[in-house]
Amino acid sequence: MTTTDKPSTRDRLLDAAADLFYRDGVSIGVEALCRTAGVSKRSMYQLFDSKEEVLAASLERRSTRYEALFAPGPEEATTPRERILYAFRRLELASVAPDYQGCPYLAVLVELKDPAHPASAVARAMKERAEGAFREQAERGGARDPELLARQLMLLFDGASARSGAGIETLDGLMTATVGTLLDAAGVK
């Protein structure tokens, strides 16, 4: 591996932060973060003012990949109904992974309980984008109340994510059946 192939200090910090914070929670200390990333605390503080900024940056960095996980391409789902159901099928699939611990954005919001925290702002924005995507598909699908349906879908998504991430519930087929019933009731085609 050449030096140009080696991840930057910033990338190593953000990768370590994403892994540690997801697996162990946001209370991980700076020492553990830097040790896992293989960087000095001095290097971390040259790049970020605080651990809170590292957490926020790691969440922001993974947001595009996380959104893509639940957004179908045009060949995978053509109708608004199929696009909504696709997100829940993906959640069912993700939930059976051995390292699945729920939605990382929801976990940060629940664990921090501080709306002013920089990571809370990133996580809240992600949840708002997800709700907006559900609302857009609900409108396109002819839902009687797209706003209400989007809120209901977010409750299902976050609740299922939390329960399966905690090992309380398995989602095999449960989500798509539940969401299908909700879409029928809302009149989504």
- pLDDT value for 155: 98
Distance CA 169, CA 75 (A): 31
What the block records as the tokens of 94 is 């993700």
What per-residue confidence (pLDDT) applies to 139? 98
pLDDT digits (tens, 9 = 90+) for 98-140: 999 999 999 999 999 999 999 999 999 999 999 999 999 999 9
- Give the tokens for residue 98: 């051995």
Residue 2 has pLDDT above 70, yes or no: no
**Mean residue pLDDT across the chain:** 94
Coil, strand or helix: which one is 109?
Answer: helix
Q: Which residues contact 182 (CB under 8 A, 6 or more apart)?
A: 149, 152, 153, 156
Q: For 189, which DSSP code?
A: -
Distance CA 142, CA 9 (A): 48
The domains of the chain, with CATH numbers, are 9-186 (1.10.357.10)
- Say what the pTM is: 0.90
Give me 115's structure tokens: 């709306």
Asked if pLDDT for residue 4 goes beyond 70, the answer is no
